[in-house]
A and B are shown apart, each in its own frame.
Chain A
C-alpha cells in the first residue's frame, strides 16, 4: 500500500467543562497515521487516551468539546464538519471499538438489529442484503450464524467483543480506532482477539489506532507508538526504535512495569506517584514531580516534542527538547 497519510492530528486540544474548571484531557496533541499503519497509543489511565479517540470520532458531547486544532482525514478537517456531514464519515471512513462491549451493545436489541442498522444508515440497500453483509462479517470474526438473533447478555465477553469488531468493520472503513478493546477480557481471550485483528488487517487493509494502558500488548503488533502522559504526547516513534531505546523517562518507567517473563510473578515496579490534575496544571514538565531524573530546569517550562530522528520525537529536556 502506498505510503500516504490517512489521518493527521494537528495541535488538538479537547476536554471537559466542569464546575472546577476546564479539564484539558487532550492538550496540544499532534500525530499522523499512514494508510495501513498500526499506531499504538499507551499511557496510564486518565491521561486522555479515550478523550482523544472520542475527539477523532467527534463523540464529545454535553460538557465535552474540542477546543482547537484540526483532525485531517485525507485532507478533510473532521473538527470543522457539521453533524450531518460528520455522520457521512462515521463508520464508513472511520469506526471504533469500545472498551466494554457489554456497555456498548444495546441490551434490548438483537445482534442482527444492531449490525443491520449500521449498514442501513449508510447504504441504500434492501434489508436482506444488509443482513447478508452482516452475516458475512460475523463469519470473519468466527461467530456462528445461529448467534445472529441473540441478545448481548446471551453471549460471552469474547464473543461480544468480536461482534463489536465485526460491527466496526461492516462498512470497510479506512480507520479503526480501538479503545482498550481487550481490557475487560481475560488473557487467553485477549490473545485471540489481538490475533483476529491482525488477521483481519491483513485481509482488509485498514489502519488501526490501538489504545491501551498496557504497553506490553503493543510490543509485537504496532508499527509506531505514541506515549501519552497527562494529556500530552511525551514520546513518539516507530515501535521497534522506541522499545529498543526509550528516550523519555516516563516511557522507561512504563517499560519497567512490564511483567517480567523470567522473574517472579508479582507486582511490577511501576512509577511512583500520581499524574497531575488536568485543570490548570502547574508549569514545567508534567512528569517532573514523579521523575527520578528531574532537574531544576524541568520545573520552569514545559518541554515540547523535539525530533530525535525522522519520525521519532521526545518531549524531555534530556533528549534535547526545548522548553
Chain B
C-alpha cells in the first residue's frame, strides 16, 4: 500500500506541475504574446478582448499567488476559459466534441500496437537466430526513424490519392445520417489509415523494447533452470521468459506512451481527423492560446493517468514491487 500511496502522490504532483507550467507559460513568455494578439485584434469587440486579457491574466489586480489559486480551482472545476477562435464558446465545450474521436482512435491503436508489438518482440527474441526475425527487427527500426506525419503523408498518397481505397481525411462520411449503420461503417473506413499509421509506428517501439527485454531475460539463470527442469519450450517461453520480460515494457510505458500520444496527435493533424490533435493544430494556427493550453493539459493529464495505471498493473504483475523490494 505504501507503493500505491507513493505512486498516487506522484500522480497528483505531476498533474500539479503540468497545471503550473500551463499557468506560468503565458505569463513568462518574452515578446508579450498578449499584446501582439491584441494589436492584431484591434477593432474587434471589447468582449473578445476581455477574454484575451483573462487568458493572460491581465484583467485582474490580484497578486500572482491569488491568480494561481483561482486558476487551479477553475481548472479542477473544468473551467478552462473561453476559446478565441470559436468565440464565445467555452474551451470545455469545444473539447467535448473532439475528445471521443481521440479516445477511440488512440485508445484502440495503443492497445493494438502494444499487443502486436509485444507478441512480435517475443517472437523476434525467441527466434533471433532466424533471418526473418532479424529482418523484421531491421524493418521496424527503419520505420521508427520515419517521422509519424510523413508516414501518414505517404499512406495518404498511396492509398487515398493513388489507389482511392480510403478517403483523404476526416473521420466520417457526411452523406450518412449520424449514428446509422452506414455512418459507423464510414467511421471504420475513415479511421483505417490513421489507425494504421499510429499502430505501425508505435508497434516498432514496443517490439524492439520487448525483444531486448526478452533477450536479456533468456540469458537469466532461471531460464536455464527451467530448461534443466525439462519444461516444455512453450511453457518456458510464455511463463518464464515473456512473463518476466513484459515487466520492463509495462514500466517503459511511462516513456513510450507520451511519445505515442504525441505521434497520434500529429497523425490526426495529417488526416484532418477531428480529434484533439487536429484541434491543437487549428488552435496553434489561430493562436487560440486558451484552447491550446487546455489541450496540453488534457493530454498531459491522460498520459499521467495512463502511467499511474501502468504502475498499478506492475504492482499486480511483480511481487517484488508489491513488497517494496524493488
- Direct A–B contact in complex, judged by CB atoms less than 8 Å apart: yes
Question: How far apart are the CA atoms of A90 and B323 in the complex, in Å?
Answer: 34
Give chain B's interface secondary structure class.
helix
A151 pairs with B319, CB closer than 8 A: yes
A90 pairs with B320, CB closer than 8 A: no
Residues of A within 8 A of B317 (CB): 108
B319 pairs with A108, CB closer than 8 A: yes
Interface residue tally of chain B, by bracket? 20 to 34
Question: How far apart are the CA atoms of A109 and B231 in the complex, in Å?
Answer: 15
Question: How far apart are the CA atoms of A117 and B317 in the complex, in Å?
Answer: 19
B243 pairs with A87, CB closer than 8 A: no
Does residue B163 face the partner (Cβ distance < 8 Å to A)? no
- Pick from A57, A105, A110, A154: contact of B228, CB below 8 A: A57
Q: A87-B230, A121-B229, A121-B232 in contact; A104/B319 too (CB < 8 A)?
A: no
Does residue A92 face the partner (Cβ distance < 8 Å to B)? yes
Does residue A95 face the partner (Cβ distance < 8 Å to B)? yes
Which residue of A is nearest B227, CB measured? A59
Residues of B within 8 A of A59 (CB): 224, 227-228
Question: How far apart are the CA atoms of A110 and B318 in the complex, in Å?
Answer: 11
Interface size on A, residues (CB 8 A): 32
B325 pairs with A153, CB closer than 8 A: yes
- Pick from A61, A92, A108: contact of B318, CB below 8 A: A108
Does residue B225 face the partner (Cβ distance < 8 Å to A)? yes
Residues of B within 8 A of A92 (CB): 230
B323 pairs with A153, CB closer than 8 A: yes
- Pick from A88, A95, A153: contact of B320, CB below 8 A: A153
B229 pairs with A104, CB closer than 8 A: no
Q: Which of A78-121 contact B (CB under 8 A)?
A: 83, 86-92, 95-96, 98, 100, 103-110, 117-118, 121
| Chain A positions 154 through 165: 1 when the CB is less than 8 Å from some CB of chain B, otherwise 0 | 100000000000
Does residue B173 face the partner (Cβ distance < 8 Å to A)? no
Which residue of B is nearest A103, CB measured? B221
- Pick from B224, B226, B228, B240: contact of A95, CB below 8 A: B228
Question: How far apart are the CA atoms of A88 and B320 in the complex, in Å?
Answer: 33
Residues of A within 8 A of B231 (CB): 117-118, 121
Question: How far apart are the CA atoms of A95 and B229 in the complex, in Å?
Answer: 7
Those 4 A-B pairs whose CB atoms lie nearest each other, nearest first: A90-B230, A103-B221, A151-B319, A87-B230
Known: A54-B224, A107-B318, A107-B320; 6 extra A-B contacts, CB below 8 A, are A61-B227, A83-B233, A96-B228, A107-B244, A118-B230, A151-B320
